[in-house]
Every structure is written in C-alpha cells, then in structure tokens.
Amino acid sequence: MAWIVLVVSGVLEAVWATALGKSDGITRPIPSIVFGVALILSMSGLAYAMRTLPTGTSYAVWVGIGAALTVTYAMATGGESASWLKILFIVGIVGCVIGLKALH
C-alpha cells in the first residue's frame, strides 16, 4: 500500500509544481488553490509512505516521478521544448525509479 500511495504522491507533486508555475506567484486563485491542495496531499502521502519505506528511497521515487511528469507535461503542452535527449534523460529517471522499487 505504501508504494501505491508514494506513486500517487509523486503524481500530485507534478500537479502542484505545474499549478505553482501557472499561479503567477500565487496571485491567480484557481491555480493557487490547486497548488495548495495538491501540495498538502502530496506531502501527506509522502509522509505516510515513509512510515514503512526507507526515507532515501521514498524521497528519490517521489521526486523522480514528480520531475519526470512535470517536464513531460511541459513538453507536451508546449511550455518547454522537447528533444530526443531530454526524452532519453526522462526515461533514465523513470528507469531509476523502477530500479529503486525492484531493489526494495
């Protein structure tokens, strides 16, 4: 169960990071609310997962999922340029996350 919560929390990290970028310095209400709610849920899920999973592994998986999804979303929506090299490195992050799960 902790792994499922951790993955969902990593997805929520991408949500709050994206919402923070769209909040214009927390001045736009809707993205700011999405940011706050997603942040609380993401951190709560991370804290829950860390009750049974090692801290380093939990944090690395959480950040890896959030970072990979955030940049993928930005590239897909045109907010950031895409390149084969960026995609390769994102795949590398995902591979590392899978490797950490496989070793645990």
pLDDT tens over the chain, length 104 residues:
999 999 999 999 999 999 999 999 999 999 999 999 999 999 999 999 999 999 999 999 999 999 999 999 999 999 999 999 999 999 999 999 999 999 88
Tens-place pLDDT, residues 60-78: 999 999 999 999 999 999 9
Question: Could you list the residue range(s) of the whole structural domain that residue 77 is in?
Answer: 2-103
Q: How many domains, in total, are found in the chain?
A: 1
48, 2 contact by CB (below 8 A): yes
Please give the backbone phi and psi of residue 6, each rounded to the nearest 5 degrees, phi first.
Answer: -65, -45
Q: What is the pTM of this model?
A: 0.92
- The answer to whether residues 32 and 69 touch, using CB atoms and an 8 Å cutoff, is no
CA 78 from centroid of its chain's CA atoms? 19
Q: Which residues contact 54 (CB under 8 A, 6 or more apart)?
A: 104
